[in-house]
Every structure is written in structure tokens, then in C-alpha cells.
A and B are shown apart, each in its own frame.
Chain A
Amino acid sequence: MTATLTPVLSATWGSDKSWSLDTYTEAGGYAPLKKALGMAPGDLIQAVKDSGLRGRGGAGFPTGMKWGFLPPDDGGPRYLVVNADESEPGTCKDIPTMMSAPHQLIEGVAITSFAIGCNHAFIYLRGEVVHVYRRLLQAVREAYEAGHLGKNIHGSGFDLDVTVHAGAGAYICGEETALLDSLEGRRGQPRLKPPFPAVAGLYARPTVVNNVESVASVPAIVDKGVEWFTAMGTERSKGMGLFSLSGHVTRPGQYEAPLGITLRELLELAGGIREGHELKFWTPGGSSTPIFTQEHLDTPLDYESVGAAGSMLGTRALQLFDETTCVVRAVTRWTEFYKHESCGKCTPCREGTYWLTQILKRIEGGRGTQADIQQLLDTCDSIAGRSFCALGDGATSSIISSVTLFREEYEAHVEQGGCPFDHAASALFDYSDTPATEEAHA
């Protein structure tokens, strides 16, 4: 039986001018804010704790607990910072959310800020999505004009300013402390934790950093209640989430479903792997999560089950690759990405990703040796767990898992002195696999 989809965040994306305040209000938007303003902040935090909502940005930390970690009010400012720096390869859920329904996020920001006692919230958006920025800037202005933001919101006595801030191109700024440094006008480099942002975050003040989807889920929880939310999902992974299918799939896109749905079920809804092909490997949660194969088609996509199967739910970025895809090529490219995006602060990550790239390119190019494969694993050992943040760890995930699952493919590159795959067969358009230059001169 096909699992049921549960469009909540995505429910209005197909509406006329779905991004406008009018459309959002017509669909019941900002009623949850008014309801929340009538509640005690502590009760709001408790409700989100009870809902079991866990961070949708990858780590899966309970959102309500994160809010609860803020120290008692000392009269000074405390901040909410929304992490909208969506950049993990494969991840493409927050961008359509903000492009199609920015008010969902802004209402979530208002409710969250009220709950944690924040009077100035920030949305840190990656800079490479200018139309999303336009929509957010307009939505914030509309929300001020309608009295959903600003002074004495709806007569509650609660004041809130929201600043939407555009980054400037750096994957690392998705790491919460690097994001805070960047928002402070510095190079985006991770901080040593502790202290955690809850204690010393933005401007060294108590700060909650939450992902877009987490915050955008809050209005629905306030509106429809904890029981409605907990009825979806599995025992410890509650609620719905956006599953982003990409790659060799018939109908790629955003599928909002209860946590715990399986890839087999999602593929049924998405028309299966592209015609005439079969699934070879996939990421459950972006390029930083160990890869899966067909063996894992029935693994429930919740935090616990994916973890037990040796990977991570991450951002539910399901990148699907069929049998035409060279796993060494895929992993090499991901590794080049981590090398490019390593901020350089910690030596194991900065140097390690450099050497991993050298070795992988050698193997992919047919110049590697069998010893290089072991060298890859040894180098991964020297990186994982040895830096301030998880970027280096993420870099090793696809390498270790692919060598474990597809070692023979690495060996084939070494033995054959090159890549055994026809890259043209993987592309979604037809071309012959001759270098562009040769063809141009033919």
C-alpha cells in the first residue's frame, strides 16, 4: 500500500500568488500567531517539546528542548536566528518553502520569538538565491504593515523586529556557529563549543538557531495541536517533513510526508527510477550522510531507523543514482566540494580534504594503486571527529560508505587504468561521450 502524503508546509504552494500575504491569510495564516500571543510563553515551549518536533536542518535535535536551554531572562537581548543557508548537496526544501510561502516562515519566527523572549530575529539566507530574498524582503514588509511584526503586535505588548540577511556564498555558514560569526560581519568559521549558542550566541547573547523548516512547522503545531502533529511519524520521529527526491527518478521534487515513510513508498509516488534503469545508490540526507543502496529501500526514513542502518536522516535530501553512475566519480566530486568549502580553520579538515581529493582524482583518472584505497580510509580516520565542526566528518561519509559497499568499483578503476563507465549514459539528455572540444572541431 502506498503511504499517505501530508502536505502542510507545501499545501498552498500551488495557489495563485502563493507568496503573498493575502493568499496566506486567506488560507488561515497568522491566526496561529494571534492564538500564540494569548498563551504563556512557557506553555508554547512545552507544546513544541510535547510535539516532538526535531530540528529539520539535519541534526534532528529536539526543537523545544533547544528553546528551553536558554538561560533565565537577565534583562538583556536574546536572539532567534533562522538558518536559511540551505547548501548541503542534494538539499532543496527550504528554498521552495521560502519562495512559495515566505509568510509561513515569518509567522513561525514571530511565534518562536514570542516563546523565547526575543525582540529581534534574523533570517540568514544564502546569497545565491536572489528571488527568494526578494520574496522574503517583501513578506517581512507586508507583515510589518499588517501589524504581525513591529511594536505591540496585535495589542499583546510584544515587540519584534525581523531582519533578513543575505550571505555571500559559503557552505560552512550553514554550521550554526559559523553562521553567527558571518552574521556578525566576520569570516564564517565555526566556534569551539561550549559555550553553545543558547548561552553565548549572536553578540555573545543567548541565541536559538533553528532551520527554516523547523520554524515554519511551528504555526501548524500551534494551530492544529500537539496530538495532530504526533499522530504523524514514528515513535521518536514525529510529524511531517519535506522529502526531496532528485536525480534518476521519473518525477523529482518535494514530497511532504510523515517521517518514517520509505524510499520504496516515495518512489511509487514519484513514478519510480527513470524508465529502463534501476537504483544503484542514494543518499538519505544529503552528501554528508553515508550512502545507501537497494538494500535500504524499506528502511523507514526516520532518525532512529536511518541511524540504525548506518547513515543519517539529515535533511531528507534523497539523491538517487541508477546503475549507469560511477560511484567513484560521484564521491570524488563530493570530496572536491568539501575541499572547496572547508573554511581552513582546523588542520585535519583543511589538509585532509585536500589529500582525499588528490587520491580520489588519481583513482578516478586511472592512475591510482590498490594501496590508495586503504590510504583513503586511513586519511578519513585522521579527519573524522578531529575538527570543530562536522564538515570534515561529512566529507568522510560518502568515502567510507562507498568503499565499504562498492570496493570492487574502486579496484576496477585501478585495474583498468580508468573509469569503466560511460558518463553519457547517466545524463538526462543525449550526447556522445566525446570531449566537447573534439566534437566542436569534427
Chain B
Amino acid sequence: MTYDETTLVSLTEDAAAIIARYPVKRSALLPMLHLVQSVDGFVSPDGIQFCAEQLELTAAEVSAVATFYTQYKRRPNGEYQVGVCTNTLCAVMGGDRIWDELSEHVGVGHDETTEDGKITLERLECNAACDYAPVMMVNWEFFDNQTPESAKQVVDDLRAGKDVAPSRGPAKVCSFTQVSRVLAGFEDGRADEDQGAGTATLAGLEAAKGQGWTEGAK
């Protein structure tokens, strides 16, 4: 492994904290792969070796797991993972068109990264926000009710280094490595940041109020 002393010490401390969450050590593997991505920007050979040593597995066993899951990247990833949902519902509502225009605009295809290292594009499977179709995700934050124009604007702003707020979520989209650290189970203090629950989330509640229902009524 080529990690410097400081990195290795902090990685080892974090790994210990993750392992302590589980009765059986190996359960720590998925969060530890997220952790490795938070340092290296992808699941690097060093990262695989590190996980293997910490969990008393072989590098082959760790690799076998890492290659199964789409969130683990085998090449250096862009600072922002931009996914356009092209599963049926979003695709039909316009996701296909958003994908075509965005991909053309950015100049890269599925699972490819722009030369400036900013954007990795992805054709996304359903991300459980169908009531906000068509949906785009940036580093796993929700961008609801997109159009080709709105999607291109988001990507342009990200490439220009501007802060971009999702439709629902924190005040701004964090970087791929920052978000990977959260996915390893470490809080980043942004849980109370909010862009509102969203119209579709509250649609039923609004309709219920129209029926004379009051909150807490039994």
C-alpha cells in the first residue's frame, strides 16, 4: 500500500469505528469500501488491500464484492456523479431526452468522466423519486422535475465551481468524496439542512386537508 502515514492512521481509526458497529467483522466491508472512496475517489487497489487487511479477507474476496455494486467505482471518478434516470417512468416523462441532450452537451457517455475530472455521467436506474419524474441525481441528492435545460444548467454550474442546491436535500451538493464519507456512516452535520419536503411528498396531505382532515385527527 502507498498510503502515507497520516492517511493510514486516520483510515485505520475510521475502520475501527465502522467495525465496532457490527457483531461480525465482515459486515463492515460495504461501509469500508465507501470509506476508501472518500479518500481515493474510487475503490483503488490500495483501498482493496486495506479493506482486506482490516477484515482478514483476501484481496480477491474484497474485489468480488466491490465489483458487484454500482456505487463502487473502479476508476477515478468525477467530483460529481450525475445520473439521469432512464428507467421506464422517468424515460417516458422525458428522461431519455434529458439524457441525450446532457450527454451531447457534456461530451461524454454512460460511465464516462469529463476531461476536467468534474462530471461522471450515468444512466441511472430507478432512484425512488418517481413522483418527481423526470429525475436526476447528483452525488445521490435529488434533482426533481428536470428538463434538458435545467439539467444542463446544473452541470454547467458544477463545472464552473458554483454551489448547487438539490430540489430536496442539503444546502448544496457535496463532492463525491465527501458524500462517500457520509455513506461510510459518518455524519457531516448537514441533516438539518432542507430544501422543503417537496410538492409530491405532501400532495396527499394537501388533498386530505381539502377533505377537512386536520393534522392529528383520529
A131-B141, A340-B125, A435-B100 are known contacts. Are A166 and B133 too (CB-CB below 8 A)?
A: no
A170-B88 in contact given A20-B192, A245-B131, A251-B203 (Cβ < 8 Å): no
**Contact call B187/A185, Cβ cutoff below 8 A:** no
Q: Are A330 and B203 in contact (CB under 8 A)?
A: no
Residues of A within 8 A of B142 (CB): 131
Given A7-B205, A27-B216, A431-B148, A337-B68 contact (CB < 8 Å): no
Bound-state CA distance A255–B208 (Å) is 9
A30, CB-defined interface residue at 8 Å: no
Contact B182 A170 (CB under 8 A): no
For the complex, give the distance between the alpha carbons of A134 and B92 in Å.
Answer: 31
Known: A20-B192, A168-B71, A436-B97. A5 touches B131 (CB 8 A): no
| A239–B208 alpha-carbon span in the complex (Å) | 17
Stretch at the interface among B2-10, B28-36, B154-162: B28-36
> Which of B26, B68, B139 is within 8 Å of A184, CB to CB?
B26
Tell me, in angstroms, the Cα distance from A325 to B93 when the chains sit together: 9
Q: Is the CB of A90 within 8 A of B140?
A: no
Please state if B130 and A91 are interface contacts (CB–CB under 8 Å).
yes
Number of A residues with CB within 8 Å of any CB on chain B: 103
A77 / chain B contacts, CB cutoff of 8 Å = 23
Which single residue of chain A is at the shortest CB-CB distance from B129?
A: A92
Of A108-116, A356-364, A420-428, the stretch lying at the interface with chain B is A420-428
Interface flag for A46 (CB, 8 Å): no
| Residue of A whose beta carbon sits closest to that of B140 | A130
- A9-17, A51-59, A148-156, A408-416 - interface stretch: A9-17
Which residues of B lie under 8 Å from residue A254 when comparing CB positions? 131, 200-204
Chain B residues, CB < 8 A from A99: 168, 197, 201
Q: Is A25 among interface residues, defined by CB-CB distance under 8 A?
A: no
Contact B86 A333 (CB under 8 A): yes
Could you say which of B28, B101, B188, B203 has the most chain A C-beta atoms within 10 Å of its C-beta?
B203
Nearest CB of chain A from residue B101's CB, rounded to whole Å: 5
CB neighbours (8 Å) of B86 from chain A are 333
Residue interface bits B10-35, CB-to-A below 8 A is 1, else 0: 00000000000111101111110110
A18 at interface by CB-CB < 8 Å: yes
Q: Which residues of B contact A437 (CB under 8 A)?
A: 100, 104
The CA-CA distance from A292 to B77 in the complex, in Å, is 41
Known: A5-B213, A429-B94. A270 touches B130 (CB 8 A): no
With CB as the reference atom, state the residue of chain B lying closest to A254: B204
Any chain B CB within 8 A of the CB of A406? no
Asked if residues A429 and B131 are in contact (CB atoms below 8 Å), the reply is: no
The answer to whether B71 and A169 have CB atoms under 8 Å apart is yes
Roughly how many angstroms separate A265 CA and B182 CA in the complex, as a whole number? 41
Q: Does A407 contact B (CB under 8 A)?
A: no
How far is the CB of B96 from the nearest CB of chain A, in Å? 7
> Could you write out 8 A-B pairs with CB less than 8 Å apart?
A11-B205, A13-B202, A14-B197, A127-B71, A243-B204, A247-B92, A253-B200, A317-B130
In the complex, besides A17-B194, A130-B179, A247-B133, 13 extra interface pairs with C-beta distance below 8 angstroms are A7-B208, A13-B201, A87-B125, A96-B201, A134-B188, A166-B31, A167-B69, A185-B27, A242-B204, A247-B93, A253-B204, A319-B88, A321-B92
Binding site for A on B (CB under 8 A): 21-24, 26-31, 33-34, 55, 64-65, 68-72, 86-89, 91-94, 96-97, 100-101, 103-104, 125-134, 137, 139-142, 145, 147-148, 166, 168-170, 179, 182-185, 187-188, 190-192, 194, 197-205, 207-208, 211, 213, 215-216, 218
